Amino acid sequence: MSGYELMAGRLSRRAVLLVGALPWLAACSTAAQYQDAGPPNLHLSTTSTGAFLSFTVVYLDINRVTADCRAEHVGTLNLWAPLPLRPPADAVHLPEDRLSHLVFKFRTHGGNRESLTSYATLLRPRAGHTYQAAVKYDAGLYDVEIREIGPNGTPGPKVEHRPLSECRRA
């Protein structure tokens, strides 16, 4: 068998794998969308990298926090996915002066394995302020940084991580 035939065989196997995976990859981006009326007050920037034949889907689950400190799911936003069916979210409105529980999820697919890592925090958006969330995933490590932006556009403090168990103090 010549080198050309070997290379053509490898390429056709890879093409079959890719075509077979396309519907599955597209399905990764079809979570129920979160919608809340109002101007966006949480702006999102997301980056994700993967190794050869692997990728990481990034999404955000938004929960309202009840008076008894339970998280009730209200929707999901796709932040990054290969071949998304709809564009990833870059901004959303969270109700002001109401406690929200944000869960950033990083689902990595590759080879014969799948893993899920998440970062969750409480946020009570203040009226007149906006928030900037920088979400990054690279080489198995994630970083989520949320900053408050003042009414005049000046960068404010980093929003500290707070688990759901601290909802009574928030």
Per residue, the 3-state secondary structure of 85-101, as one string, reads: CCCCCCEECCCCCCCEE
Q: Does 11 have pLDDT greater than 80?
A: no
Identify the CA nearest to 144 among candidates 42, 41, 39, 74. 42
Of the listed ranges 13-27, 33-47, 139-153, the one predicted with least confidence: 13-27
Query: How high is the pLDDT of residue 35?
Result: 72
Query: How high is the pLDDT of residue 1?
Result: 61
Query: How high is the pLDDT of residue 8?
Result: 55
Cut 0.85: pTM above it: no
Identify the CA nearest to 42 among candidates 119, 104, 118, 105. 104
Q: For the segment 29-61, what is each residue's pLDDT rounded down to a tens digit?
A: 444 577 777 899 999 999 888 666 788 889 999
